[in-house]
């Protein structure tokens, strides 16, 4: 963990008004010329995505698969070709632009040909296509509560982040927090920064700045970076994730596949999900609590804002569940996860002020192996001496079934729910012990967040006190999602 102290600049706490409520984009199609074979070097992605040490397989582009040598994807297999076609080379720098131009040209040619066939050579009574006059509108007319307004507001405070390492370049997004260049992003976007690594951030005005890591919080997948020499930036409007409702419309802004200021929309699918992923050794499971959304989130979106229709940030985009596609199984869609802004705000304030963040400690140990169908909750296998749980009367063998009003199904749920609270907070804990159920008040402890909160699949795992594992590697068998997979 980088524990640099913050600059002597404005690091006032992040605050924000309550959000309002307010679906949906369509993916652009591509067209190819059935009469021309497009020859040239195959497209190669200049970026590796996202975490240079992650072992996840690369996520496929949602609409444009990589072409094989000598064949542009989507070309008609049976289309005739001229006897001596002129070869056309395709550059690798701007494949999306080239595709868009090609689609426009082909569409125009097909339209002209179709019109000639229907016209049958006569033009005396040919209709003239004209556009109806649009209402006089401009960008300033967008009203709060619309996708357009949310996109305009959020785009002004969303930055592109590139981390160049010896293993390649990780690409992500960030949320501008202050005029002088404090930027919030995901820990997994910048966690590969080491000796010789460089962070470059491009702001909405097109300027590029070098940046350094001010602090990271692995358990929450949050990091804060500081731009060198920045001024006059537009800070994001910070909302309130506590007032969100399922079904509320939201907008994501970021740089998926390195396409700056890409806007997608969707809804809030669930307010509290236990997000799990296996570590590199496959022996532990990393957990955190996330907001679920069906808003399209792709590699490059990580660390970018999820906003309400007022343009207020209500979560930080972090990960997606791709189903079992990495192991040859069914592909999952529309399962994105983001860190609620109420949690991210606390962590970001601590990182800006102190260069490190804290996380709460319950003081118990357990594992997924201790959770089974016969146990409806998280079974405690050991209790930290003189820790918060011990002081409240929780004992070995007790089963925790609720934290506050949140139902606990297993030990992963327990750890994820504890992370939604703050150190020092007193929370009601429902415990089943000796056939009786009781609710007790537990004042949570505190520890510096240096490693991801993990749970052992075989032995004991703790919620803090230095015994946490770390790592964000491959997805475990049957696991829920790859932590931070390609998202950014």
With a cut of 50, say whether residue 426 has pLDDT above it: yes
Tens digit of pLDDT for each residue in 471-488? 232 233 333 333 333 333
Q: Which helix (H) or strand (E) holds 163?
A: strand 158-165
Looking up tokens 């040490």, which residue turns up?
53
Sign, CA dihedral 400-403-405-408, equals negative
The rounded mean pLDDT for the chain is 74
With a cut of 50, say whether residue 20 has pLDDT above it: no
Separation of alpha carbons 237 and 353, rounded Å: 20
With a cut of 70, say whether residue 125 has pLDDT above it: yes
Active site residue 188: yes
Tens digit of pLDDT for each residue in 200-240? 999 999 999 999 999 999 999 999 999 999 999 999 999 99
Confidence bin at 50 (pLDDT 50/70/90)? very low
Confidence bin at 16 (pLDDT 50/70/90)? low
Q: Which helix (H) or strand (E) holds 185?
A: strand 182-185
pLDDT of residue 186: 93
How big is the chain, counted in residues? 488
Beta strand ranges found along 203-351 (DSSP E): 208-217, 222-227, 249-254, 262-278, 284-293, 305-307, 313-320, 336-340
Q: Which of 188, 219, 255, 468 is catalytic?
A: 188
Separation of alpha carbons 176 and 10, rounded Å: 13
pLDDT of residue 124: 64
Q: What is the tally of helices (H) and strands (E) in the chain?
A: 6, 23
Confidence bin at 464 (pLDDT 50/70/90)? very low
Active site residue 180: no
Peptide bond into 452 cis (omega under 30): no
Task: Compute how many other C-beta atoms are within 10 angstroms of the C-beta atom of residue 323.
Answer: 15
Query: What does residue 320 show for φ and ψ, rounded to 5 degrees?
Result: -135, 155
Minimal CA–CA distance to 362: which of 483, 467, 456, 217?
467
Q: Which of 191, 237, 302, 472 is catalytic?
A: 302
Query: What does residue 398 show for φ and ψ, rounded to 5 degrees?
Result: -65, 150
Q: Which residue has the higher pLDDT, 99 or 339?
A: 339
Minimal CA–CA distance to 377: which of 421, 428, 430, 425?
430
Question: Is the whole model's pTM more than 0.85, yes or no?
Answer: no
Task: Compute how many other C-beta atoms are within 10 angstroms of the C-beta atom of residue 331.
Answer: 10
Q: Which residue has the higher pLDDT, 117 or 370?
A: 370
- Range in 83-87, 300-304, 322-326 with the lowest mean pLDDT: 83-87
With a cut of 70, say whether residue 436 has pLDDT above it: yes
Query: What does residue 300 show for φ and ψ, rounded to 5 degrees?
Result: 115, -20
Active site residue 302: yes
CB 13 within 8 A of CB 342: no
Tens digit of pLDDT for each residue in 155-203? 999 999 999 887 888 889 999 999 999 999 999 899 877 766 799 999 9
Q: Which of 160, 221, 449, 463 is catalytic?
A: 221
């Amino acid at each position: 963990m980088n524990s640099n102290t913050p600059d002597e600049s404005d690091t006032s706490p992040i605050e924000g008004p309550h959000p309002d409520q307010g679906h949906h984009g369509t993916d652009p199609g591509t067209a190819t010329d059935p009469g021309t074979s497009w020859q040239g070097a195959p497209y190669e992605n200049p970026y590796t995505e996202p975490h240079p040490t992650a072992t996840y397989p690369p996520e496929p582009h949602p609409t444009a698969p990589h072409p094989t040598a000598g064949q542009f994807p989507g070309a008609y297999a049976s289309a005739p070709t001229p006897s001596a076609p002129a070869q056309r080379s395709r550059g690798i720098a701007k494949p999306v632009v080239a595709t868009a131009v090609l689609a426009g040209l082909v569409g125009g040619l097909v339209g002209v040909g179709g019109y000639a066939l229907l016209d049958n050579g006569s033009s005396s009574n040919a209709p003239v296509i004209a556009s109806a006059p649009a209402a006089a509108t401009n960008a300033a007319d967008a009203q709060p509560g619309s996708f357009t307004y949310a996109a305009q507001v959020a785009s002004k405070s969303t930055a592109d982040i590139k981390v160049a390492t010896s293993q390649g370049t990780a690409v992500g997004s960030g949320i501008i927090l202050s005029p002088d260049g404090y930027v919030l992003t995901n820990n997994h976007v910048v966690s590969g920064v080491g000796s010789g690594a460089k962070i470059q951030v491009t702001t909405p005005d097109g300027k590029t700045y070098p940046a350094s890591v001010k602090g990271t919080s692995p358990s929450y997948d949050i990091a804060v970076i500081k731009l060198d020499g920045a001024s006059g930036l537009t800070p994001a409007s910070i909302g309130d994730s506590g007032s969100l409702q399922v079904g509320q419309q939201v907008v994501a802004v970021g740089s998926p596949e390195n396409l700056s200021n890409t806007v997608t929309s969707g809804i809030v699918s669930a307010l509290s999900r236990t997000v799990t992923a296996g570590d590199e050794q496959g022996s532990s499971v990393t957990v955190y609590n996330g907001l679920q959304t069906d808003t399209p989130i792709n590699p490059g979106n990580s660390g970018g804002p999820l906003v309400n229709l007022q343009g207020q940030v209500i979560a930080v985009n972090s990960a997606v569940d791709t189903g079992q596609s990495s192991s040859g199984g069914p592909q999952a869609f529309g399962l994105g996860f983001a860190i609620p802004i109420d949690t991210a705000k606390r962590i970001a304030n601590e990182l800006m002020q102190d260069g490190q963040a804290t996380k709460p400690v319950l003081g118990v140990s357990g594992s997924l192996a201790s959770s089974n169908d016969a146990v409806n909750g998280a079974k405690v296998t050991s209790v930290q001496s003189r820790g918060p749980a011990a002081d409240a009367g929780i004992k070995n063998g007790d089963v925790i079934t609720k934290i506050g009003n949140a139902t606990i199904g297993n030990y992963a749920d327990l750890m994820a729910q504890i992370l939604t609270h703050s150190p020092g907070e007193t929370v009601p804990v429902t415990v089943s012990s000796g056939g009786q159920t009781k609710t007790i008040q537990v004042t949570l402890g505190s520890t510096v967040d240096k490693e991801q909160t993990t749970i052992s699949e075989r032995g004991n795992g703790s919620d803090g006190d230095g015994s946490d594992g770390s790592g964000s590697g491959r997805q475990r068998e049957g696991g829920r999602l790859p932590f931070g997979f390609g998202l950014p």
